[in-house]
């Protein structure tokens, strides 16, 4: 019995050591910067244009993805945010929103938690400015004012999930173990120096190449941490409970970045490559005379059998 | 999913395709026929003994055909009913 306990303790010690060895290169929680007061300030704070000189190909890939215009969307996301405000928030008795001037960052979080997580670093004025910009864009389009619509669309598109969001702000998930992302460090799969004035250091983020990293936004369903949880993306939930449970072992990055060859142009249904990778479809057909019943008699019938096999790591569709 | 993120509280029905599973769908397509009377006897006649079936798998992200739909798969099957079988 004593021997068994000793073995148990020794295994525990090994596990603890391994966990300790997995710590990333985060650090203490950085002092909070003053909140951005305008869209322009927020965009400037998360400006990733400095990355382009050395990472042009990656930037071009990213620019083709929805991450590069995560608030504008296809462009259905921006109008849906307005619908959520007009039909949802303004009609909820306890939301505190009766007018656009009542909107705060917290109110938009049901959308921006994923579509613009950096909005947490902005004042409520920025939340209201975003809403006003989207409404202005919708009106300009309706009025046929193309120049104005284009200008406002560019502003909306400047609010996005760029290098700074994934490779810094959201890079480290377990901050108590791995540390908080540091303001001078770009996170990826390498440690060392980084030729950039603002980000002179590189460090490994332990989960950046794992599905859980994407799961921060492409999540597990309702966002219960919010005052008004919303049934949102269930992709990571599906990955965990339907895909890995069936023996699946590839990561989001394996399929969407590596096997697809798309790199940072992360795509889903709009990409022919992803569509082909995701499904196997077999179609078989035959004909017969079907004696249906006494009233309708014999019916000449074509039968088409379709077999659909979802090879993706999640349900289709999902988000 | 349904009508908008602000009023969704949970999945009530799951109709998506599950990962690593094969889903079977069967479609029954009657050949066109007419009921006729020949020599005082009711019978049926095929209008056409061939069917060309176009099978398309659509991804309809917003639940309707409004421009964002994508064809994931497309195939054509030719079926025929060229038998000597006589309707009784």
The pLDDT tens digits of the residues spanning A195-227 come to 999 999 999 999 999 999 999 999 998 889 999
Nearest beta carbon to residue B51 from set A231, A302, A306: A302
pLDDT of residue B83: 72
Testing the interface with B: which of A75, A228, A231 to mutate, by most B Cβ within 10 A?
Answer: A231
Instruction: Reply yes or no on whether the pLDDT at B5 is more than 80.
Output: no
- In this predicted structure, what is the pLDDT of residue A4? 45
Q: pLDDT-based confidence at B13, cuts 50/70/90?
A: confident
User: What's the pLDDT at A169?
Assistant: 97
* Minimum Cα–Cα distance from A91: chain B residue: B6
Does position A17 have pLDDT exceeding 70, yes or no? no
* Residue bearing tokens 């950039």: A196
- Cβ distance A298 to B87 less than 8 Å, yes or no, reads yes
In tens, the pLDDT along B46-83 reads 899 999 999 999 998 888 898 889 999 999 999 998 87
Q: Cα–Cα distances in Å, from A223 out to A175, A208, A229, A312, B69?
A: 20, 22, 5, 24, 28
At B43, the pLDDT band (50, 70, 90 cuts) reads confident
Q: Do B6 and A287 touch (CB under 8 A)?
A: no
Q: Which chain B residue's Cα is nearest to A224?
A: B9
Q: A138 pLDDT exceeds 90?
A: yes
Q: What percent of chain A has pLDDT over 90?
A: 84
Is the pLDDT reported for residue B1 higher than 70?
no
Peptide bond into A317 cis (omega under 30): yes
- The ipTM assigned to this model is 0.88
Test B53 with A289 for CB contact under 8 angstroms.
Answer: no
Structure tokens at A126: 């920025």
pLDDT of residue A14: 40
Mean pLDDT of A277-295: 94
When CB atoms are compared, the residue of A243, A289, A298 closest to B19 is A243
User: Are B44 and A230 in contact (CB < 8 Å)?
Assistant: no
pLDDT at A272 over 60: yes
| CB-CB under 8 Å, B57 with A302 | no
pLDDT digits (tens, 9 = 90+) for A147-170: 999 999 999 999 999 999 999 999
Alpha-carbon distances of A167 from A46, A163, A245, rounded to whole Å = 11, 6, 29
Residue A63 confidence class, pLDDT cut points 50, 70, 90: very high
- Domain assignment present for residue A173? The answer is no
Segment A273-277 mean pLDDT? 95
- In whole numbers, what is the pLDDT of chain A averaged over residues? 91
- The answer to whether A108 and A127 have CB atoms below 8 angstroms apart is yes
Residue A296 maps to a domain: yes
Give the distance between the most distant pair of CA atoms in chain B. 67
Q: Is residue A20 scored above 70 in pLDDT? A: no
What is the token pair recorded at A121? 């670093």
A119 lies in a domain?
A: no
| Any domain includes A297 | yes
Question: Is a pLDDT exceeding 70 seen at residue A16?
Answer: no
Domain of residue A229 covers 214-250+268-319
Residue B21 pLDDT class (50, 70, 90 cuts): very high
State the Cα–Cα distance between residues A45 and A48, nearest whole angstrom: 9
Tell me: pLDDT of A9 over 70.
Answer: no
pLDDT at res. A24: 57
Query: How does residue A284 score in pLDDT terms, banded at 50, 70 and 90?
Result: very high
Pairwise CA distance, residues A61 & A50, whole Å: 16
- Residue B50: CB atoms within 10 Å: 13
Comparing C-alpha atoms, which of A296, A298, A288 is closest to residue B81? Answer: A288
Question: Is A231 within the bounds of a domain?
Answer: yes
Vertex A254, ends A114 and A234: CA angle to 5°? 35
pLDDT, mean of residues A241-267: 97
Are B25 and A306 inside 8 Å of each other by CB? Answer: yes
Does residue A45 contact residue A119 with C-beta atoms inside 8 Å? no
Distance CA A282, CA A273 (A): 18
Residue A5's pLDDT is 45
pLDDT of residue A268: 92
Q: Which residues have CB under 8 Å from A65's CB, separation 6+?
A: A264, A265, A266, A267
Instruction: Name the most confidently modeled range: A17-26, A306-315, B4-13.
Output: A306-315
- Of the residues A112, A300, A312, the best mutation for testing chain B's interface (the one with the most B CB atoms within 10 Å of its CB) is A300
Alpha carbon distances (Å) from B88 to B37, B41, B49: 12, 10, 17
What's the total number of domains in chain A? 1
- pLDDT for position A245: 94
Position B87 scores a pLDDT of 59
- The more confident residue out of B13 and A186 is A186
User: Does A182 have pLDDT greater than 50?
Assistant: yes
């Amino acid at each position: 019995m004593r021997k068994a306990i000793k073995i148990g303790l020794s295994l525990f010690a090994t596990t603890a050591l391994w966990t300790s060895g997995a710590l990333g290169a985060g650090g203490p929680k950085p002092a909070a910067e003053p909140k951005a007061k305008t869209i322009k300030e927020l965009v400037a704070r998360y400006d990733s244009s400095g990355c382009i000189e050395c990472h042009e190909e990656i930037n071009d890939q990213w620019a083709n993805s929805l991450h590069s215009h995560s608030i504008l969307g296809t462009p259905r996301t921006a109008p849906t945010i307005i619908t959520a405000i007009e039909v949802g928030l303004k009609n909820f008795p306890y939301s505190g929103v009766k007018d656009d001037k009542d909107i705060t960052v917290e109110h938009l979080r049901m959308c921006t938690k994923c579509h613009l997580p950096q909005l947490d670093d902005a004042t409520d004025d920025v939340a209201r400015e975003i809403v006003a910009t989207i409404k202005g864009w919708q009106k300009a389009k309706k009025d046929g004012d193309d120049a104005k619509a284009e200008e406002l669309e560019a502003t909306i598109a400047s609010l996005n999930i760029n290098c700074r969001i994934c490779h810094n702000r959201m890079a480290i998930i377990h901050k108590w173990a791995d540390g908080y992302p540091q303001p001078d460090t770009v996170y990826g799969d390498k440690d060392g120096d980084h030729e950039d004035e603002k980000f002179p250091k590189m460090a490994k983020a332990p989960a950046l190449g794992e599905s859980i990293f994407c799961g921060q936004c492409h999540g597990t369903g309702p966002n219960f941490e919010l005052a008004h949880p919303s049934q949102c993306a269930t992709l990571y939930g599906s990955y965990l409970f339907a895909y890995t449970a069936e023996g699946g072992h590839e990561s989001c990055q394996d399929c969407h970045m590596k096997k697809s060859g798309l790199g940072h142009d992360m795509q889903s249904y709009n990409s022919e490559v992803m569509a082909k990778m995701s499904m196997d479809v077999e179609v078989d057909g035959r004909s017969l005379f079907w004696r249906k019943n006494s009233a309708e008699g014999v019916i000449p019938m074509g039968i088409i059998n379709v077999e659909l096999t979802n090879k993706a790591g999640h349900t289709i569709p999902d988000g | 999913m349904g009508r908008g993120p602000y009023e969704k509280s949970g999945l009530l029905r799951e109709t998506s395709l599950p990962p690593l599973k094969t889903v079977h769908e069967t479609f029954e397509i009657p050949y066109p026929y007419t009921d006729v009377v020949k020599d005082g006897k009711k019978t049926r006649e095929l209008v056409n003994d061939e069917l060309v079936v176009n099978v398309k798998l659509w991804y309809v992200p917003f639940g309707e055909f409004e421009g964002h739909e994508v064809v994931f798969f497309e195939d054509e099957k030719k079926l025929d009913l060229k038998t000597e079988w006589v309707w009784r």
